[in-house]
């Protein structure tokens, strides 16, 4: 079978090694549904402008739908010499309809056809990822009711810093994921532009209606420059970048929960159905899902790197190099979707080890900053109060006690104006209650934000906003 992309200008058959080297059907076959949808819209437009008859358009549509069903049923044969999914479908159409099938490619090239199919695929994939990110946000917010009374140590430099409510921690990830959703939505705007009808590079002399095709396919607009369309893979790179940030956020979460599930931290009990065992150590319950989530981030970062390097030296307009954008793009989406699919139920099923957390919560002088701010409210300059509290921490550490265990005389030695009221801000519970700023871990502020997130995520009716 000779490739239909080779015109009569060729006097030699394609070398079989070249066919194997240049094929993309092994990975771009997943675009079949979008190629058929795009081709049906194109055929309907051709009929609307009089380039084919309405009868021909209906016949093309019906045959394409039959081909799609055969692909979905696993009854469709692939041939390496046909290169890609687009030529496979068109040749199958021609084989069944003859000259009527040959008319489908009127006014388009594989360049704009591939771009359109890929945009349709990416648009759907972005929507799937957005839904999966929403599911993960929902899992964090739905934890808030049962964890509302838990206080955790927050860390900087992996050293204990200040006390925060567990809900404050859960909502921190909601914020990160919300930025991811905003980037997904913003990226989708640039994806949702119709390329079809730009043809190979310069457009076409035929009286096609590109806006008609865009409307039929649900695009928001039409690409304005045919030369740009042939080379444009910005939407691919931007999608990969957005996915990379999602993967990075998932990796951060996975790393923290891996640490939290250790005996050394003992903050978290992971659901066993998301863990694995050891082939030699019978006591082991390993956080393999979290570790693989952390590890798969590298693949997504690598996919973005591949795409950036792929396009960096390409001149206008189309170059065959762009065929290689799909493996990296598909892998990035597949990897992030797989991680998100497991992340939401894992978050929902984990349990905080309340007793272990509470037992060690007073370690690390988490209330030191609150004491400093108490002194600031009493009129001390910040740097003076900072130094004074540091000296008090040093005294408490030397004695192996909490700040709250120091006698009043120790506080008065540091500042003669202090009285029994100082104990009202000491201890993690008092320290948490003392917070007041917007966005802080103040109980009333966290409760307000939990309610805001419930509204934002549409949890009252189970639908995302």
Joined tokens for residue 71: 């692909």
251 classed as catalytic: no
5, 39, 109, 157: the active-site residue: 157
**Is 287 within 8 Å of 270 (Cβ atoms)?**
yes
Asked if 246 and 133 count as a contact pair (C-beta separation under 8 A), the reply is yes
**Residue 71: other Cβ atoms inside 10 A:** 19
Residue 329 neighbours by CB under 8 Å, 6+ apart:
118, 122, 236, 239, 240, 303, 307
* Mode of pairing for the β-strands spanning 351-352 and 268-269: antiparallel
Nearest Cα neighbor of 231 from 104, 322, 317 is 317
Candidates 246, 327, 307, 317; CA nearest to 31 is 327
Q: Is residue 157 among the annotated active site residues?
A: yes
Q: For residues 176 and 257, what is the distance between their CA atoms, to the nearest angstrom? A: 16
Q: Which residues of 25-37 are buried (b: 16+ CB within 10 A; e: fewer)?
A: bebbbebbbbbbb
| Residue that the structure tokens 């309340």 belong to | 354
- The answer to whether the bond into 28 is cis (omega within 30° of 0) is no
Both structure tokens of 251 = 């990796």
CB 243 within 8 A of CB 333: yes
Phi-psi region of 323 (alpha: psi -120 to 50; beta: other; left: phi over 0): alpha
Q: CB–CB of 187/126 below 8 Å?
A: yes
Active site (catalytic) residues: 157, 278
């Amino acid at each position: 079978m000779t490739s239909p992309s080779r015109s009569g200008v060729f006097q030699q058959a394609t070398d079989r090694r070249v066919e194997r080297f240049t094929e993309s059907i092994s990975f771009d076959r997943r675009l079949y549904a979008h190629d058929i949808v795009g081709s049906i819209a194109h055929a309907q437009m051709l009929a609307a402008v009089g380039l084919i008859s309405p009868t021909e358009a209906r016949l093309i549509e019906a045959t394409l739908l039959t081909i799609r069903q055969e692909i979905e049923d696993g009854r469709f044969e692939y041939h390496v010499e046909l290169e890609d999914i687009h030529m496979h479908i068109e040749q199958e159409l021609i084989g069944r309809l003859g000259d009527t099938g040959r008319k489908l490619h009127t006014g388009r090239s594989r360049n704009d056809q591939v771009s359109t199919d890929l945009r349709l695929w990416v648009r759907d994939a972005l929507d799937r990822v957005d839904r999966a990110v929403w599911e993960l946000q929902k899992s964090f917010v739905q934890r808030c009711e049962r964890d509302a009374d838990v206080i955790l140590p927050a860390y900087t430099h992996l050293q204990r810093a200040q006390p925060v409510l567990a809900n404050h921690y859960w909502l921190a990830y909601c914020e990160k994921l919300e930025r991811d959703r905003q980037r997904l939505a913003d990226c989708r705007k640039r994806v949702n532009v119709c390329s079809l009808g730009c043809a190979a590079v310069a457009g076409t002399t035929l009286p096609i209606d590109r806006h008609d095709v865009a409307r039929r396919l649900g695009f928001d607009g039409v690409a304005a420059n045919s030369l740009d369309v042939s080379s444009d893979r910005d939407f691919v790179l931007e999608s990969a970048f957005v996915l990379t940030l999602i993967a990075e956020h998932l990796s951060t979460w996975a790393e923290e929960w891996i640490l939290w599930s250790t005996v050394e931290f003992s903050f978290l009990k992971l659901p066993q159905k998301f863990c694995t065992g050891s082939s030699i150590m019978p006591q082991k319950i390993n956080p393999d899902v979290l570790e693989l989530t952390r590890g798969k981030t590298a693949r997504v970062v690598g996919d973005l790197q591949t795409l950036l390097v792929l396009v960096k030296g390409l001149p206008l307009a189309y170059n065959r190099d762009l065929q290689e954008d799909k493996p990296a793009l598909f892998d990035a989406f597949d990897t992030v979707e797989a991680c998100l699919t497991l992340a939401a139920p894992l978050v929902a099923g984990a349990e905080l080890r309340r007793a272990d957390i509470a037992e060690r919560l007073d370690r690390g002088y988490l209330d030191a900053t609150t004491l400093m701010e108490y002194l600031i409210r009493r009129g001390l300059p910040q740097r003076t109060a900072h130094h004074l509290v540091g000296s008090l921490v040093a005294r408490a550490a030397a004695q192996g006690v909490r700040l709250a265990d120091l006698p009043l005389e120790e506080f008065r030695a540091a500042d003669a104006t202090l009285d029994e009221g100082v104990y009202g801000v000491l201890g993690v519970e008092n320290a948490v209650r003392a917070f007041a700023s917007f966005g802080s871990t103040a109980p009333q502020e966290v409760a307000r934000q939990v309610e805001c997130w419930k509204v934002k995520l549409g949890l009252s009716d189970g639908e995302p906003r």
